[in-house]
Structure 1
Amino acid sequence: MALGQNPCLIGSVVTDNAGMLKLAMQDVEAGTFGGKTIYGSFDNQCLTVGTFNDDLVSADVQTSYMEYINQMAAGTFPG
């Protein structure tokens, strides 16, 4: 188990707030800022998968999970 890792957590996601701020600033520069909410997503790379607790999540499950994540990012996840 990694130093400081909670033994109850199986995995995490990471939001890139700086990336979302950059998207907002791009809208400011383009004159289109306002009237919408900017969300972190797999599509805009402002949401990513963090680390797994290898003691609790097998490599096979991690691989399957990442396949689903890649499908969501590509817009091909079954609906």
Structure 2
Amino acid sequence: MTATAKPVDELNYEEAFAELETIVAALENSQQALEESLALFERGQLLAKRCADLLDSAELRVQQVNVHLPDLPDEDASEG
């Protein structure tokens, strides 16, 4: 992780998830000093929250579209 890392709140889902995967791999490698591991962990927590927030936002948008377009078949109808 570099000091010039993009702020978490400016990352889109794909960017945040990719960086989170990199951090997980680095932490699994366990080659960092304790302080670096803690910094990676903290950044990873922020990235995980960002991903969850973006997914929640996308889900809300889908629900709003479904409310405004009720004639579209819902996913339950296509499963049966």
- Taking structure 2 as the reference length, the TM-score comes to 0.30
More helix by share: 2
Structure 1 or 2, whichever has the larger Rg, is: 2
More strand by share: 1
- Taking structure 1 as the reference length, the TM-score comes to 0.30
